[in-house]
Homo-oligomer: A and B are copies of this chain.
Amino acid sequence: MLSVFSDEYFMQKALLEAEKALAKGEIPVGAVIVVDNQIIAKAYNLTEHLQDVTAHAEIQAITAASEYLGGKYLTNCTIYVTLEPCSMCAGALYWSRIQRVVIGASDPKRGFRTIGGILHPKTQFISGILEEECETILHSFFTSKR
């Protein structure tokens, strides 16, 4: 039997965040941060709305989770993010010492594994969860912009 609280379950929640970004005309990337199977932060890309390049889903989610926990280290947390983090967001996750980074779609052009940057040595990295759904929402955005 599948656990209710699987990686797919939480990635689905991150996808709901990405849909909110899409509805606002933003590049649709969403993230949730989870500790003990509880979502403590949700966020989606708001760079256009806020006119701020730092307003990626991950950065907002890290700030919100730290606020919730009352501490800057996310050592027992998992972030689910629909697209591979860029080097800015990987850098923020590095400093947070987050336990797990779980991504949907890979970003061979702008992802941290291409551009550079690292996660904390203790951080576990898992890719490809609901990859097709995470890619589809991105493709639908970029197709609509052409």
Q: In the complex, what's the smallest C-beta–C-beta distance from A85 to chain B, in angstroms?
A: 9
Instruction: Determine the residue in chain B with the shortest Cβ distance to A85.
Output: B91
- Binary interface profile of A, 82-124, with partner B (CB < 8 Å = 1, else 0)? 0000111111101110000000000000001001111000000
A95 contacts B62, CB within 8 Å?
A: no
Secondary structure at chain A's binding surface: helix, strand, loop or mixed? helix
Collect the chain B residues with CB atoms within 8 Å of residue A127's CB: none
Residues of A within 8 A of B (CB): 47-48, 50-54, 59, 62-63, 66-67, 70-73, 86-92, 94-96, 112, 115-118
Top-7 shortest CB links A-B: A88-B91, A116-B116, A53-B95, A87-B91, A87-B117, A51-B72, A116-B117
